[in-house]
Amino acid sequence: MNAVPSGPILCCEDVSREFITERKAVIGTPKKTFTAVNKVSLCIEAGETVGIVGESGSGKSTLGEILGGLREPTLGTVRFRGVALKDMDESQFQQYRKNVQFIFQDPKGSMHPQFRIKQIIEEPLITLKVCPDRAQRQQMVKDMIRQVGLEEETAEKYPSELSGGQCQRVAIARALIVHPKIIICDEPVSALDVSVQAQILNLLKELQQTHEIAYIFISHDIGVVNYMADRIIVMNRGSIVETGTAEQVFHSPVDEYTRKLVASSFAS
Amino acid sequence: MDKLIDIRNLTIKTPGGRVLVNRVDLDMEKGEILGVVGESGCGKTLTAKTIINLLPENLSWEADKFEVLGVDYLTAAARVKKALVGDRIGYVPQNTGFYLHPMIKIRDQIADGHILYKKRTPEQALDKATRLVSAVGIRDAPRLLNSYPWQLSGGMRQRVNIAMALMNNPALIVADEPTTALDSTVQKQVVDLFRQVNNDYNTSVLMISHDLGLVKYYCERILVLYAGQVMEEAGAEELFEHPRHPYTKMLIKVIPSLNIKKGEKLHEIPGHVPDLHQAIAGCVFKDRCSYRQEVCGREVRDQTIGSNHIFRCNFDL
Amino acid sequence: MPNISFRVKKKYHLYGGASLTFLVVLLCLLSYVYMPHGPNDMNLALRFTSPGENPGYILGTDYFGRDIFSRIIYGSRSVLLVCCLAVALGSVAGTLLGAAAAIVKGPLSAVIMRSIDGLMAFPGILLAMMMVAAVGKGQQGAIVAIAIFMVPPFARLVYSLILDSENSLFIKAAKSYGVTRSRLLRKHYLPLLLPRLITQFTACIGAAIMIETSLSFLGLGVQPPHASWGLMLNEARQHFLQYPYLAVVPGLAIALAVLGFNLLGDGLNDLLMRRRS
């Protein structure tokens, strides 16, 4: 292991992202560009969970994609261990890719329908060149399947044969197998049934303790975010409107919008 | 006519013989708000679709009794059922977009059912539509009526759907996950709107949802479905204060509340929703139940407490 | 889920198409093993024998007294070999071009797709004739002509399918763990495209048979005295008022072969597409 510099692992400084739209978003107000994320700065320390709450269109998913390198910001920089993504060379970028993983909202949709579960989990090991040895990779996949609480036979199945909760476990295994420092969870439980939601949340928490991962936990459900996150960021129309600990933000919100959000939740 | 809906032993099957809804009883009184909660695949949407006579054609249903607003679905002609649904039942769908034709202005589609069933002129209908659209909280009604569905936000479209469902002064509104596609701040407004409609017009609302928090806040009586069967039925307060069925008990606990303490572990229900390919003997929840006994694999019974608290379990814990 | 009768009907497409296709393949194989007479053997004593008149010549003989049945068997070779080879070449080229255009994007994509649009603007047979003029008459000319003709449908199909699935979540997920473009194409897109490509391939062979026979009818494909169905049709032209069977037999062969491949394509489409949904 090379020496890891202390301080935040992942940072973004004043990032903005605009989308060009020609259609009218609201009646009568023609818009040409739409600012999904507006000058957002954010740092993630090792092992912590940052919750991003907001409604659809608040830019929370776009922010997640920018932090994860899936979208380029129109303005601003994203830094991984102090190095801006733009200035990275090939191997540094690969390190960044390896250390920042994703879990998406729709677990089935995030897996190739014609791949077997073992292929799905194995693929990041190949593409990120973590482990060149085939037998060793298969062993790692096997271990991972067990760790996320799936049965061994699952390895041979296709995503369509699994339930939503099982698929989300596979997605977690795929993210975890390359030992990332950060996992960006974009609404990881909102497509799941209520009765399996808790299983996935608890699994994520357990894995965080054993593997020391930081989560960026994006959700519209403040109950879920409150349970998962240490630090919370409330987003509205692309900007951060409030930050603080879960306690502060949800029990004594300062911002008008946060108050509205908390009041409209049924999770009390 | 005392009961608005009276369904006994509704069973819905696929051509392959999979039982998707298994002997469900459902009754509703006039002016009531009834919530049907359950997870995906529990049969809540299919039950609602049978009531509005829109069950997918490849599924078949049977029941001992199936009366909606005095019409017996078991004997009534297709035409009568269709007229009943068009005239006296309003339907609010989950997906706000698919229910409106994207290329037709709101004003030209909102009143269709009204003109057809109430024999009004388009002018009269439009007049009523304008009033209703204002009543559901849209400030600039004429402007809204002149727009196309794609120009509106999801919340706006859902308001249009509700106004549309109200056009014929229905006795019953069937709302299938009406707020799932909406943002939480809008969600509450829409739900309040249903309550207001219930208050103002004494319209009964059958509300289908997966969100326990929502039905708790809003329904008077709740039916909990699981794997095609009714697990528990009780008044909202009673259900949340004194749940009897292990499934309901656990379901209430698994939702993370804002009052959860740091470091506390969330309760979870092990396993996953059963696959309905084969008939399940005994209790359908037994595989995930922590109170499971041997008897649960063989049989399960319905118990009644008080006047209207029913639950399907062998024990009373 | 479609209702039962619909399903059964569609299965007939598959079976009907498969058996007709099989018949053509069988004829082609037969030409290497056995033919009642040499396809170019003339028997001037037996000119214009009607089908059934002489048990040695089941489908009759033509102007030169050549056995029509043997010529049909022999002609299936050029139909099958020329068409399969041409469509194979065309589909590979088309797939690569379409995939390149969809994945690389930018100006290269525009250049590729616009040239393909341009190619499609030419009437098929005119294009084929131009190709033959450039490459030369005969089988090679026909193969090149048909192959080029088959590039646009494959390129467009692949291009649009990749653009369609590009926004799916699993492709986004794949990018999130650093899948390279070539791996994305090989491992992710190709399995998705394969059923559509197989379907398109089969259907295109039907179209290719039409072009091949048209070319040889015009005298630009297989050269006399070799037998080919289009050529037989052309030779029948002068006498078919008196001896209609001369045109009917090769015409029927062409029609059945095209029908067979088209039905098979249809049936495969139904089979493979349903399996995916």
Q: What is the pLDDT of residues A130-185, one digit of tens each?
A: 888 999 999 999 999 999 999 999 999 999 988 889 999 999 999 999 999 999 99
Give me Rg for the CA atoms of chain C. Answer: 22
B152-195 pLDDT tens trace: 888 788 888 888 888 888 999 999 988 877 777 778 888 888 88
Q: How far apart are CA A158 and CA C171, in angstroms?
A: 17
Q: How far is C178 from chain A (nearest CA, A)?
A: 6
Q: How far apart are CA B309 and CA C24, in angstroms?
A: 72
pLDDT, residue A24, reads 52
Q: What is the DSSP string of A219-238?
A: ES-HHHHHHH-SEEEEEETT
CB A201 within 8 A of CB A227: yes
pLDDT, residue A3, reads 46
| Partners of residue B40 in chain A, C-beta under 8 Å | 164, 193
Q: Nearest chain A Cα to B275, which residue?
A: A163
Q: Tell if the CB–CB gap between B213 and A266 is shorter than 8 Å.
A: yes
Confidence of residue B290 (pLDDT cuts 50, 70, 90): confident
pLDDT, residue A23, reads 54
Instruction: Say if residue C3's pLDDT is above 80.
Output: no
Phi, psi values for residue B176, rounded to 5°: -100, 105
User: Quick check: ipTM above 0.90?
Assistant: no
Residue A165 contacts B, CB cutoff 8 Å? yes
The arithmetic mean of pLDDT across residues B33-41, rounded, is: 89
Q: How far apart are CA A221 and CA C240, in angstroms?
A: 80
A76-110 pLDDT tens trace: 999 999 899 989 998 999 999 999 999 998 999 99
Residue A106 contacts C, CB cutoff 8 Å? yes
Q: How far apart are CA B252 and CA A111, in angstroms?
A: 31
| Partners of residue C196 in chain A, C-beta under 8 Å | none
Residue C25 contacts A, CB cutoff 8 Å? no
CB A223 within 8 A of CB A267: yes
- The candidate with the shortest Cα–Cα distance to C244, out of C59, C29, C57, C23, is C59
pTM of structure:
0.83
Q: How far is B280 from chain C (nearest CA, A)?
A: 25
* Amino acid letter, residue C71: R
| Omega prior to C225 cis, within 30 of 0 | yes
Number of CB pairs, chain A paired with chain C, less than 8 A apart: 52
Instruction: Say if residue C226's pLDDT is above 90.
Output: no
Q: How far apart are CA C61 and CA C59, in angstroms?
A: 7
| Partners of residue B57 in chain C, C-beta under 8 Å | 3
Q: Which two tokens stand for residue A232?
A: 């919370």
Q: Tell if the CB–CB gap between A111 and C172 is shorter than 8 Å.
A: no
Among C170, C174, C179, the residue with its CB nearest the CB of A109 is C170
CB A220 within 8 A of CB B183: yes
Q: Which two tokens stand for residue A6?
A: 């202390």
Average pLDDT, chain A: 88
Q: Tell if the CB–CB gap between A23 and B250 is shorter than 8 Å.
A: no
- The candidate with the shortest Cα–Cα distance to C12, out of C269, C270, C267, C275, is C267
Pick the residue of C1, C4, C5 with the most B CBs within 10 A to test the interface with B by mutation. C1
Q: Tell if the CB–CB gap between A127 and C179 is shorter than 8 Å.
A: yes
Q: How far is B40 from chain A (nearest CA, A)?
A: 7
pLDDT, residue A1, reads 40
Q: What does each C-alpha distance from C41 to A167, B281, C68, C224, C225 come to in angstroms? A: 68, 77, 11, 13, 10
- The candidate with the shortest Cα–Cα distance to B208, out of B89, B3, B49, B58, is B49
Q: Tell if the CB–CB gap between A28 and B143 is shorter than 8 Å.
A: yes
Q: Sheet harboring A75-80: ordered strands across?
A: A33-44, A10-20, A75-80, A83-84
Q: Tell if the CB–CB gap between A267 and B255 is shorter than 8 Å.
A: yes
